Structure 1
Amino acid sequence: MSSALAKIEDFPSDPVEFFKNILQAVTYEHPDGYMQEMNLATVDDEFGVLNRTVLYRGLTEDNCVYYITHRYTRNFKNLRVNPKACITFYLPTVKDKTGEQSTWQVRLIGATAVELPESAMDALWAKENLSAQIRGHICPCGEPINYDDLKAKHDQFLLEHKEKAIERPASYTALKFQPQRWDFLKVGLEQIADRVQYRLQGNGKWESMHVST
Structure 2
Amino acid sequence: MSSALAKIEDFPSDPVEFFKEILQAAAKGHPDGFLQEMNLATVDEEYGVLNRTVLYRGLTPDNFVFYITHRYTRNFKNLQANSKACVTFYMPDVKDTTGKDSSWQVRLIGATAVELPQTEMDALWAKESLAAQIRGHICPCGEPINYDELKARHDRFLQEHNGKSIARPASYTAWKFQPQRWDFLKVGLNEIADRVQYRLQDNGKWESMHVAT
TM bin, normalised by shorter chain, reads over 0.9
What secondary structure sits across from 2:85 in the alignment? Answer: strand
Deviation at 1:163, TM superposition (A): 2.0
Identify the residue that residue 61 of structure 1 maps to in structure 2. 61
What secondary structure sits across from 2:52 in the alignment? Answer: strand
Identify the residue that residue 193 of structure 1 maps to in structure 2. 193
Identify the residue that residue 150 of structure 2 maps to in structure 1. 150
Deviation at 1:101, TM superposition (A): 1.1
Q: Residues 37-76 of structure 1 correspond to what in structure 2 (within 5 A)?
A: 37-76=37-76
Once the two structures are superposed, residues 10-34 of structure 1 have per-residue CA deviations (whole angstroms, 9 ceiling, x without a partner) of 0000000000000010144286x21
Superposition RMSD on alpha carbons, in Å? 0.9
Once the two structures are superposed, residues 87-119 of structure 1 have per-residue CA deviations (whole angstroms, 9 ceiling, x without a partner) of 000000211111111000000000000000111
User: For structure 2, which runs of at least 5 residues remain unmatched after alignment?
Assistant: none
What secondary structure sits across from 1:61 in the alignment? Answer: coil
What secondary structure sits across from 2:177 in the alignment? Answer: strand
Q: Distance in 1 between matches of 2:197 and 2:160?
A: 51
The list of structure 1 runs, each at least 4 consecutive aligned residues, that deviate by more than 4 angstroms after superposition, is none
Q: Residues 102-181 of structure 1 correspond to what in structure 2 (within 5 A)?
A: 102-181=102-181
Identify the residue that residue 16 of structure 2 maps to in structure 1. 16
Q: Distance in 2 between matches of 1:158 and 1:57?
A: 25
What secondary structure sits across from 1:25 in the alignment? Answer: helix
For 2:56, give the aligned amino acid.
Answer: Y
Q: Distance in 1 between matches of 2:31 and 2:78?
A: 31
For 1:62, give the aligned amino acid.
Answer: D
Identify the residue that residue 93 of structure 2 maps to in structure 1. 93
Using the aligned pairs only, state the percent identity: 80
For 2:98, give the aligned amino acid.
Answer: T
Q: Distance in 2 between matches of 1:16 and 1:122?
A: 26
Q: Distance in 2 between matches of 1:46 and 1:175?
A: 22
| Segment of structure 1 superposing worse, 5-14 or 21-30 | 21-30
Q: Distance in 2 between matches of 1:30 and 1:148?
A: 37
What secondary structure sits across from 1:145 in the alignment? Answer: coil
For 2:30, give the aligned amino acid.
Answer: E
Q: Residues 79-90 of structure 1 correspond to what in structure 2 (within 5 A)?
A: 79-90=79-90
Deviation at 1:55, TM superposition (A): 0.4
For 1:89, give the aligned amino acid.
Answer: F
Identify the residue that residue 30 of structure 2 maps to in structure 1. 29
What secondary structure sits across from 2:94 in the alignment? Answer: strand
For 2:105, give the aligned amino acid.
Answer: Q
User: For structure 1, which runs of at least 5 residues remain unmatched after alignment?
Assistant: none
Q: Distance in 2 between matches of 1:163 and 1:195?
A: 50
Identify the residue that residue 203 of structure 2 maps to in structure 1. 203
Identify the residue that residue 7 of structure 1 maps to in structure 2. 7
